[in-house]
Structure 1
């Protein structure tokens, strides 16, 4: 594991370093006196777990630091190491995995490190599985809309199911409901008990198609609300909006050409391309 330790007392650094230096689970251990130094490190180095004192001096505290670290690494495991027991409730409320009271004993520290190692392995396995899944699914929006799975274009049996997928991709993870889907895919119809069946049948057809391809996890649905999980797909439109230069070169002035509702997004794309410069 790649660990950091943050405490404003020099003696605490020395003690913690010697307690941890021979533990095989610890790949790297970097110690800091200030929260800002720890955050600068986290922005350029992988951090699997953080051991944090609560009171860091200078108006800083480990509870706030834990919150900031999670913005960089959502799965970082946090252990609070402090002499002040009254912080325990807040520490656990903020997602602290453990709370070590100074002076902690070696058995307690060893059990905590072993727990963090198991959790870190689980996080890494989950991340790798997510990457493997994402590498299978590619979505092209510049020009005509197409879905590719394992490098092969998908020939949808149901044209409206493909259009629904395209409409959801355009939302970039945002949720739409049945009336919104009907308005986009059947623009001349009003939502009613009868026309709502068009939406439900199309949703079912899309789910079945994606499940047949074993990529059903990209489609998120719950109680007449639908979306796509952007974290599970590669998409040229998403890359462009994230500022990826390669995506800019792929844009040819056309976006989801077969769907008229896609025209509303072209000005947004053009502004992004312009902002990225030559």
Structure 2
């Protein structure tokens, strides 16, 4: 479930965001003080619920709700305001709810429990993408192995994991995945198939936000997954991310990273 929270007052937004996370601990919450910035940065996202203040400096919340409903016809808009005179306008927009400030956890839970458009995954445990790099490289959705169509796709994803979120060009990937090929550029069309397979597999598994692409580069988003390498870098004494001297054993190029780890 993806939730948007907008209020141009910093303290009010922080309080609202905190309450939403308490009410929906598995939800992804996007918080903004500027509605226009939210429009720009949330391109490609699907928003299930939007908590909107009405009186804002950059745009009126009612107008912004109109915009959101054009993009997401079944979005649940819940207004949070200190003004009761907008109730009629909110109902004309077929809003899901109307919360008079101060916003409380009880008020949020009440509105979430009576959404105009019920969200299918509400209350369900969120799926987890787990990546294992120590020993053999493997990718899991919850506790089940995630299978790609091509074996080489798995190696592509492994290299992006190894890059730890750094943006990587096609040229670099070609040079690494086909390091023994005198002319790796010949594999460019094959690489496009691998990228398509990777994106399709992750999207179908529910992890569409794990990969970012921009200006001819591609990268993973480390905080969208559980990964022993990333956990180890944060806390090398963590039992859950214990490094035992083995790292992505299947791939020869991983020896360089293994040397750095040691």
TM-score normalised by L of structure 1: 0.50
Number of aligned residue pairs:
172
> Within 5 Å, which residues of 2 pair with 1:9-24?
none
Report the Cα distance in structure 1 between the residues aligned to 2:220 and 2:101, rounded to whole angstroms: 34
Cα displacement (A) at 1:223: 4.3
Cα displacement (A) at 1:253: 0.6
**Unaligned residue ranges in structure 2 (runs of 5+):** 1-8, 17-29, 35-54, 58-80, 84-98, 113-120
State yes or no: 1:48 paired with 2:40. no
Q: Whose radius of gyration is greater, 1 or 2?
A: 1
The answer to whether the 8 Å contact 2:178/2:184 transfers is no
Per the alignment, residue 165 of structure 1 pairs with 157
The structure 1 residue matched to 2:203, chosen from 202, 211, 218, is 211
Cα displacement (A) at 1:114: 5.5
Say if 1:178 and 1:48 are closer, same or farther in 2 by CA, change over 3 A: same
**Unaligned residue ranges in structure 1 (runs of 5+):** 7-25, 27-46, 50-73, 79-96, 100-108, 271-278
Cα displacement (A) at 1:214: 2.5
Report the Cα distance in structure 1 between the residues aligned to 2:166 and 2:133, rounded to whole angstroms: 17
Report the Cα distance in structure 2 between the residues aligned to 1:224 and 1:76, rounded to whole angstroms: 29
The answer to whether the 8 Å contact 2:135/2:246 transfers is yes
The answer to whether the 8 Å contact 1:218/1:233 transfers is yes
Cα displacement (A) at 1:136: 1.4
The structure 1 residue matched to 2:179, chosen from 176, 187, 196, is 187
Report the Cα distance in structure 2 between the residues aligned to 1:132 and 1:245, rounded to whole angstroms: 28
Higher helix share: 1
Report the Cα distance in structure 1 between the residues aligned to 2:128 and 2:163, rounded to whole angstroms: 21
Cα displacement (A) at 1:262: 1.1
Q: Deviations over 1:69-122 (max 9, x none)?
A: xxxxx94869xxxxxxxxxxxxxxxxxx967xxxxxxxxx935x968959xx7x
The structure 1 residue matched to 2:230, chosen from 238, 259, 277, is 238
The structure 2 residue matched to 1:150, chosen from 142, 146, 150, is 142
Report the Cα distance in structure 1 between the residues aligned to 2:166 and 2:102, rounded to whole angstroms: 34
Per the alignment, residue 251 of structure 2 pairs with 259
Cα displacement (A) at 1:216: 2.7
The answer to whether the 8 Å contact 2:134/2:243 transfers is yes
Report the Cα distance in structure 1 between the residues aligned to 2:102 and 2:256, rounded to whole angstroms: 48
Q: Secondary structure at the match of 2:82?
A: helix
State yes or no: 1:177 paired with 2:169. yes
TM-score normalised by L of structure 2: 0.53
Cα displacement (A) at 1:191: 4.7
Aligned alpha-carbon RMSD (Å):
4.1
Report the Cα distance in structure 1 between the residues aligned to 2:102 and 2:187, rounded to whole angstroms: 52
Report the Cα distance in structure 1 between the residues aligned to 2:206 and 2:236, rounded to whole angstroms: 28
